[in-house]
Chain A
């Protein structure tokens, strides 16, 4: 990985040198397959041995990986004081889906305002800059508390009487839009000025040029970092639990503190992995497809 490491000729090159990028299971000949298989077995064997040889292995296994506790926390039993982690993850999924759509729209708006050159928009541009600086700098959990406890305390009609989840998702949208708007901006900047000039010289008005020439290219460039942010968002939905909402992590926590066993967190972790891994692999595929298309020299 080190840039200074000399690569001796004759040695098979690492993936940095081949530029194969993120493809996980692509081939490289029989020898490569054997080497990778052996090294995988060695690494897993060492990790397993450490886990099994540790003096507290049994205690850890019981506390974190007990199948009985994992099943009980997965199905839940309110009569015994805990709720189903499996049912609670559905709330995380809904928060994520709603949040994602709102973030995509709101962040684009912020990015476009910040990129606009119109002098009349200066006040909004200033506000957007302050907004991005502020929400990127403030810890998300603080935003969740501020909205979730602050807005109801204001005692406003309608606004103050929403369910806690609404304030939680609003906080996620506010915070993540600040990050995502910067991603959008990077995408907009990555489109060469000549593209705009060419579009305008064809007689397209500025808005149309933006809509049909700049944005499609910009968005294509930023799909990997966008999906990266959304994987992060999936996990951060767990923070909404601090408002008292019983989402997956909170349900796991309730189980853990009721029976003094942490296996419920393992269940929550597995459920979050099931959610995020497909998205991560999808991102890899998009990156790969995009790379191939560009190297092929095709236009679209």
Chain B
């Protein structure tokens, strides 16, 4: 019994010590991320040791993915805004199109702790300070505005003053900033319904179980024009400064090079022209106050 107690206390001390080592190791990794990052050379050979698979840029997204962010649920075809941005970033870092590898990663596991099976995840993830404690985000590759989707001929299509907006039954996909926008900016009197997928939220909209859902303007317009028969984009809300960022494992130094790539894509007009090409037709809608 006593011998066991000693063994146990040794184990606990060892465990605590090693755990402390682990944490301080991790801490120094992320802590020194910024200063040592300048030492990282952003050439293809310079970033090899940071990659999930050497020689390949492994990019993750959800399955299925939707227009206009991707086309035909095929991230590999280079079509759709996010697919094009991923390949453009890859090109800036020196990766040929064939060296960009796509993997499927459900949204929830993209931010789970532990090693990630990808270099970065591109999946319309909005950057928030709370989320940035769990993962590392790149700089913005798209500024987001939220918009209302409703069924044609329902009251919200014509009656959407800030006071009227509070009276409707909203629904949305879980984890979206559309849902957060509903609870924090619209502040409706009825608790919104929260679905696991956008498809379920759309089904609820079509079945008149909810009056409206809120999502980013390009997605909203695609839903209203192509996915849902009787839906309409009612209006969009003014920007809240929200933007989409790529998701990296916490402390991954590759983000420095990717941020440089995004900055140069911004500077040479690539991002703007890709936005025009894939999102342009979606972006002309009246803006209303929540």
Partner of A59, one of B113, B130, B179, B193: B113
The bracket for how many chain B residues form the interface is 35 or more
Q: Cβ of B183 and Cβ of A78 under 8 Å apart?
A: yes
- How far is it, in angstroms, between the C-alpha of A57 and the C-alpha of B179 when the chains are bound? 32
Chain A residues whose CB sits within 8 angstroms of the CB of B113 once the complex forms: 56, 59-60, 62-63
Max count, chain B CB within 10 A of own CB: residue among A51, A57, A259, A260? A260
* Separation of A118 and B257 alpha carbons in the complex (Å): 79
B193 touches A58 (CB 8 A): no
Alpha-carbon distance A257/B128, docked complex (angstroms): 11
Known: A60-B113, A152-B208, A244-B195. A53 touches B203 (CB 8 A): no
Number of A-B contacts (CB under 8 A): 126
Residues of A within 8 A of B22 (CB): 54-58
Residue ID in chain A nearest B20 by CB atoms: A58
Please, which residues of chain B bring their CB within 8 A of the CB of A256? Answer: 108, 175
Partner of B112, one of A51, A63, A81, A258: A63
Cα(A287)–Cα(B22), bound, Å? 48
Of A25-33, A38-46, A276-284, the one with at least 4 CB within 8 A of chain B: A38-46
**Are A81 and B183 in contact, with the CB atoms below 8 A?**
yes
Asked if A48 and B15 sit within 8 Å, CB to CB, the answer is yes
With A42-B4, A81-B183 already in contact, the answer to whether A57 and B194 are too (CB < 8 A) is no
Q: Nearest-CB distance from B171 to chain A (Å)? A: 6
Contacts of B135 in A (CB 8 A): 260
- The answer to the question of A80 belonging to the interface, with a C-beta cut-off of 8 Å to chain B, is yes
Question: Among A45, A53, A82, which residue has its beta carbon within 8 angstroms of that of B18?
Answer: A53
B135-194 with Cβ < 8 A to chain A: 135, 171, 174-175, 179-180, 183-184, 187, 191, 193-194
A245 within 8 A of B: yes
Interface readout for A150-187 with B: 1 if CB under 8 Å, 0 if not?
A: 00110000000000100000000000000000000000
Indicate if the CB atoms of B11 and A49 lie closer than 8 Å.
yes
User: Are the CB atoms of B179 and A254 closer together than 8 Å?
Assistant: yes
Name A's B-contacting residues (CB within 8 A).
Answer: 34, 38, 41-42, 45, 48-49, 51-60, 62-63, 78-83, 149, 152-153, 164, 241-246, 250, 253-254, 256-262
21 residue pairs of the A-B complex, CB under 8 angstroms, read: A41-B4, A42-B8, A45-B8, A45-B12, A53-B14, A53-B18, A56-B22, A57-B22, A62-B113, A79-B184, A79-B187, A81-B179, A81-B184, A149-B207, A152-B207, A244-B201, A244-B204, A254-B175, A256-B108, A257-B108, A258-B131
The 3 A-B pairs at the shortest CB distance, nearest first, are namely A257-B175, A244-B193, A52-B15
Residues of B within 8 A of A (CB): 1, 4, 8, 11-12, 14-16, 18-19, 22-23, 26, 107-108, 111-114, 128, 130-131, 133-135, 171, 174-175, 179-180, 183-184, 187, 191, 193-196, 200-201, 203-204, 206-210, 250
Known: A83-B191, A253-B175, A257-B175. 17 other contacts (CB 8 A): A38-B4, A41-B4, A41-B8, A49-B12, A52-B16, A57-B23, A59-B26, A59-B114, A79-B187, A80-B180, A81-B179, A81-B183, A253-B174, A257-B108, A259-B133, A261-B133, A262-B112
